[in-house]
Amino acid sequence: MSNQAWHKYRQRWADAGNPLTGWEYVDIEDMQPEREVCSFCPKLLRYVHIIKHFEQNLTERVGCICCGRLTGDEEGAKKRQDSKKHQNIRKSNFLKNGWCETETSDGLLWTLSARKAECKIFMHAVGNYTAKICPKNLEKNVPLITIDNDTYCVFLKEMQDQVFEKYDMLK
C-alpha cells in the first residue's frame, strides 16, 4: 500500500469516528473459499485479522497490513498470518488421503490415515460423535487421543476440524 493510499484510508477511517490508536489483535480467521473486504482499505482478504478497541468496545475485521499498522505490531500480524498459512499447508497434507466413510451396524464410521496417526470418527446418532486419534509412532509413547462429543450440536466438518487440531499438536 502506498503512503498516499494509507493516508487517504486513515483519513476516511478517522472521519467515520474510528480511533486510530489503541487497537489490539484478538484473532485471525481463514475465510477460504470466501473473501472479505478489509474494513480499513478496499483490499479483498482471505485472512481476516480481528482487532478490538477495548476502551470503546469496537471490533473491526482487517487485513494483515492494516492490522499491523493499527495495532502497531506489523511483525506480529505478519507472523500470525504466516503461521495460519503453514497450518493450512499441514491441513491439506493431513487431508491428502481423504476421509473414508463406512457404515457399521450401529452408526457411521469415517477413517483417515495420515502421516502421524490413524484417525477415526464414529457417529452413533446424528450429531453425536466420538473421535480417536491413534499415533503411528509408538516409540514416542504418544497416547491415544479421544474426543467425545455428546452435545448433539456439532457437524461432521467441525468434528473433522477438531481431529485435525489435535493431530496437528502431535510430535
Rounded to a whole number of angstroms, the minimum distance from the CB of residue 44 to Zn ion is 10
Which residues are within 8 A (CB) of 69 and not within 5 positions of it... i.e. 6 or more apart?
Answer: 6
Residues 63-82 that bind Zn ion (CB under 5 A): 63, 66
Alpha helices in the chain (DSSP H): 3-15, 64-71, 74-94, 156-169
The smaller minimum CB distance to Zn ion, of residues 21 and 92, is found at 21
Task: Answer whether 67's CB lies under 8 Å from 26's CB.
Answer: no
Rounded to a whole number of angstroms, the minimum distance from the CB of residue 154 to Zn ion is 33
Rounded to a whole number of angstroms, the minimum distance from the CB of residue 51 to Zn ion is 11
The smaller minimum CB distance to Zn ion, of residues 36 and 118, is found at 36
- Going residue by residue from 41 to 60, which x/- string records binding to Zn ion, judged by CB under 5 A? x-x-----------------
Rounded to a whole number of angstroms, the minimum distance from the CB of residue 115 to Zn ion is 36
SS3 157: helix
Q: Does 94 bind Zn ion (CB under 5 A)?
A: no
Task: Answer whether 48's CB lies under 8 Å from 31's CB.
Answer: yes
Q: Residues touching Zn ion: how many (CB under 5 A)?
A: 6
- The single residue listed with the C-alpha cell 486513515 is 10
Rounded to a whole number of angstroms, the minimum distance from the CB of residue 13 to Zn ion is 10
The residue within the footprint of Zn ion, chosen from 13, 23, 25, 38 (CB under 5 A), is 38
What gap in Å lies between CA 154 and CA 6, rounded to an integer?
Answer: 42
SS3 3: helix
What gap in Å lies between CA 147 and CA 132, rounded to an integer?
Answer: 6
State the residues that interact with Zn ion by CB under 5 A: 38, 40-41, 43, 63, 66
